[in-house]
Amino acid sequence: MKRPTALVTGGCGFVGRHFVKRLLGSGYAVTVVDDLSTGLALEQWPAHLKPSTGEEDRLLYCKGDFREYSKSVPADFDLIVHLAAVVGGRMTIEGDPLAVATDLAIDATFFNWAVKSRPMPRKVLFFSSSAAYPISLQTAEYSVPLAEHMIDFEKKLELPDMTYGWAKLTGEFLAQFAARQYGLDVVCYRPFSGYGEDQDFTYPFPSVIRRVARKESPIVVWGSGKQLRDFIYIEDCIDGIFATMNRMRPGDAMNLGSGVGVSFAQLAVMASGIIGHRAEVINDPTKPEGVFARVADCGRFFQFYKPKTSLEQGIEIVYRYQQQAGLI
């Protein structure tokens, strides 16, 4: 029986590493394409994500820009997880918006490659973002749980979050054309604030945990500190995707979240209680805040999967990892 094949673009990044490990564990032969602009070389991956004995022979790593890779390799894979993008925390999104806009070129290349290849890939997972949702629904004055139908390409589109939001929104638009007009089996995921042990410190979750673990006093959070985010553990994201990817119609999108809004100040207080360091939590208004309230409506997601890792458990997992890795 032929072994299934998978391609993970941007597979050395935070989400990519976890996807590669899961795919290898599921028996796939996996190809990873990554230029390491933000990802980690394989030898730098955390021990729990590195391929085990026997899996190494099923992993092919191609260093380089996906756009160059696509010029010489057909998209003949059973599964493609498209993660390649210019990514980063809030400082990157607001501080270098034109670099982030490179994602437009990456996604245009990807979908042209996928639909023109013969045969086309059997399944494509496109990683969008909660940043694609209208910022008008995420303000201090007015905010609602963000449901999939609030992005409607047939009616009216509203302003998403910076160039990153525009790029992801455009990627979803291309995915719909690829599905309807070219027959590509592609589904889109809108992760909210995913986190995990090995996430880069440009992201707020591991940074806040590290500040508490280092027993900083006061503990500083960016912006007002009151801004709400919907945190979901990376392994719940992966589990949720495998539980839903064959239950969605081509072109469809689905949220990945917990449905619970937690402020960064609350996150710091929770971490303080778990780690055992009591200190005042203050905000730094000179640092970017982003939208005020970004929380998922998880009605569709929860029909098929409910996250297993509580926020308290997630804080403990990240804290223990930082301890063991000597990052504190």
Mark whether 139 and 247 lie in a shared domain.
yes
Question: What's the confidence (pLDDT) of residue 53?
Answer: 85
Question: What's the confidence (pLDDT) of residue 92?
Answer: 65
Which sign, positive or negative, has the C-alpha torsion 85, 170, 179, 148? Answer: positive
Question: What's the confidence (pLDDT) of residue 315?
Answer: 98
Mark whether 281 and 320 lie in a shared domain.
yes
Residues of the chain with confidence (pLDDT) below 50:
none
Tokens of residue 128, six digits? 């969008």
* Structural domain total, the chain: 2
Question: What's the confidence (pLDDT) of residue 156?
Answer: 86
Cβ-count burial 260-291 (b if 16+ within 10 Å, e if not):
bbbbbbbbbbbbbebbebeeebebeeeeebbb
- pLDDT, one tens digit per residue, over 14-56 is 999 999 999 999 999 999 999 998 899 999 999 999 999 889 9
Mark whether 115 and 178 lie in a shared domain.
yes
Q: What is the DSSP letter of 57?
A: G
Tokens of residue 157, six digits? 């589109």
In Å, what is the CA distance from 225 to each residue of 100, 263, 264, 315? 25, 6, 5, 18
301 in Cβ contact with 240 (< 8 Å): yes
Mark whether 16 and 143 lie in a shared domain.
yes
Question: What's the confidence (pLDDT) of residue 81?
Answer: 98
Mark whether 106 and 118 lie in a shared domain.
yes
CATH number for the domain harbouring residue 212? 3.90.25.10
Question: Phi-psi region for residue 223, left (φ > 0), alpha (ψ -120 to 50) or beta?
Answer: left
CATH number for the domain harbouring residue 76? 3.40.50.720
Terminal Cα distance for the chain, rounded:
47
Mark whether 171 and 217 lie in a shared domain.
no
Mark whether 105 and 153 lie in a shared domain.
yes
pTM over 0.85: yes
Mark whether 182 and 216 lie in a shared domain.
no
Question: What's the confidence (pLDDT) of residue 101?
Answer: 79
Look at strands 124-127 and 186-191 and give their pairing. Answer: parallel
Mark whether 202 and 254 lie in a shared domain.
no
State the residue range of the domain holding 204. 196-228+262-294+312-324
Mark whether 75 and 201 lie in a shared domain.
no
81 in Cβ contact with 10 (< 8 Å): no
Question: What's the confidence (pLDDT) of residue 277?
Answer: 95
Mark whether 223 and 251 lie in a shared domain.
no
Mark whether 61 and 184 lie in a shared domain.
yes
